[in-house]
Amino acid sequence: MKFVSPPPTKLKGNSDHWVQVVEELKKNPNEWGLAGNYSIGVSTHIKKGRYKAFYPEGTHMPMVYVAQNWEITTRTNGNNRVDIYIRWVE
C-alpha cells in the first residue's frame, strides 16, 4: 500500500467549448442561447457551479454566482438527452 494524498479535484467546464459559449452569451445578455444537446447532468453541474467557465476565478461561492447571473433550462428531446438553453442575466 502507498500512502499518498489524492490529486486535487478537477472542476469541469474550462474547455474551449464552454469558454466560447460563455463569451457568446455575454455578448448577447438576456437572450437565450442553445448551448447544445447533453445529458441532464451537464445542466445540473453548471447550476451547481462545477463548470468554472461560468464564474470568475476566485469566486468563493460558485453556485450562488451562477444562480444570480445565469438562467439555465432544458428541454427533453429523447434518448435521455436534453437541449440546454442558457442566458446571461444582466
Residue 54 within any structural domain of the chain: yes
Residue whose C-alpha cell reads 438562467 in the numeric block: 71
Q: Helices 62-69 and 40-47, interaxial angle, to 10°?
A: 100
Check residue 57 and give its pLDDT: 92
* Tally of domains within the chain: 1
Give me the residues of the chain with pLDDT under 50, please.
none
* Domain ranges, residue 60: 34-88
Residue 6 within any structural domain of the chain: no
Residue 28 within any structural domain of the chain: no
Task: Give CA–CA dist 5/56, Å, rounded.
Answer: 28
Percent of the chain with pLDDT over 90: 76
Residue 17 within any structural domain of the chain: no
SS3 per residue for 28-46: CCCCCEEEEEECHHHHHHH
Residue 15 within any structural domain of the chain: no
Q: What is the dihedral of CA 85, 49, 40, 17, to 10 degrees?
A: 60
